[in-house]
Amino acid sequence: MTQVTPAQQLFDLSGEVALVTGASSGLGRRFAEVLAAHGAKVVACARRTDRLAELAATHKGISPLALDVTDTASLKGKLEEAERAFGPLTLLVNNAGIASGKRILDTAQEEWEAVQKTNVDSVWHLSRAFAERLAARQSPGAIINIASLVAERVGMSSAAYAVSKAAVLHMTKAQAIEWARHGIRVNAICPGYIASEMTDAYLASPAGQEMVKRVPQRRAGDASDLDGTLLLLASPRASGFMTGSAIAVDGGHALA
């Protein structure tokens, strides 16, 4: 029988080099901090470079990189730039995204296109460029896509966002089955409502408070509630036999 690996070794990410998108605030910033705290070198990416610089100043294992995930033509060059910071990338966290809080008939074409371009197209193109690099050098790695509770459970005011996250969930499975032969694991996290810049206004509203009452745990999540799931999927020791999985972290909301 295989020897038992202590937890501190199971989630030790020393030697891993991660790129995290949308890292200037919210979940992305937390992901970068958690990965770095467990030994990974992290390239933190976003458009708000002032916030990235502040984040990088808190940890020597974090390097900032200006990145607009919707600028498809720049992505391959940005991956090369990222690897100049800490060496070959082994982990990609596709976290960047924007929300839409409107019903279908109220959503302008420009808003629909912006949500799909940021939430879906960027995951497709950046993941592909990342996988190409790993396959070319025959190196294993992992991709963690951030989907959502609403990928499978829609509401009355987030149609464009829900559709985009459903696409991310299905894309995760397609990537997983195609890239398993290259040693690339692809999994998704499906958060429920987590307190962040994106959700704080809604959670403080009467509608948000009513929604929280419907969550079995009777609370919104905190970014720290995702730490364990992130580390599980990032660690080749802890999740080496997982690919194509989607893990819900929602306080039981999907059951309600």
Two structure tokens written together for 155: 């509401």
> In this predicted model, what pLDDT tens digit does every residue of 130-150 receive, in sequence order?
999 999 999 999 999 999 999
- Interval 1-15: pLDDT, tens: 789 999 999 999 999
- Residue 217 covered by a domain: no
Residue 5 inside a domain? The answer is: no
SS3 216: coil
Determine the Cα–Cα distance for residues 154 and 82; give it in Å rounded to an integer: 36
Is 204 within the bounds of a domain?
no
Structure tokens that stand for 244 in this block: 């194509």
For the domain that residue 180 is a member of, what is the CATH number?
3.40.50.720
Question: Has residue 200 been placed in a domain?
Answer: no
Q: Find the helix packing angle between 49-56 and 26-37, rounded to 10°.
A: 20
Confidence grade of residue 182 (pLDDT, cut at 50, 70, 90): very high
The total number of structural domains in the chain stands at 1
| Model pTM above 0.75 | yes
Instruction: Answer yes or no: is 218 within a domain.
Output: no
Which residue reads 């770095």 in tokens? 36
Q: Is residue 161 part of a domain?
A: yes
| Residue pLDDT, tens place only, 118-133 | 999 999 999 999 999 9
Residue 254 falls inside a structural domain: no
First to last CA, the chain: 41
Catalytically active residues, by annotation: 161
Q: Are 107 and 160 a contacting pair, CB within 8 Å?
A: yes
Residue 100 confidence (pLDDT) above 90: no
User: Comparing C-alpha atoms, which of 66, 231, 75 is closest to residue 142?
Assistant: 231
Question: In terms of Cα–Cα distance, which of 92, 80, 77, 81 is closest to 31?
Answer: 92
Per the structure, the complete domain to which residue 57 belongs is given by: 12-195+223-244
Q: What is the pLDDT of residue 180?
A: 98
Residues 94, 67: Cα–Cα separation, whole Å? 12
pLDDT in tens, 11-47: 999 999 999 999 999 999 999 999 999 999 999 999 9
d(CA 119, CA 113): 10
Spatial neighbors of 179 by CB under 8 A, at least 6 apart, are 131, 135, 186
Give SS3 for 161: helix
User: CA 185 to CA 205: how far, in whole Å?
Assistant: 39
**How high is the pLDDT of residue 208?**
87
With respect to residue 213, please indicate whether it lies within any of the assigned structural domains.
no
Q: Left (φ > 0), alpha (ψ -120 to 50) or beta: where does 22 sit? A: left
pLDDT digit string (tens) for 43-89? 999 999 999 999 999 999 999 999 999 999 999 999 999 999 999 99
Bridge partners, 25 (sequence order): none
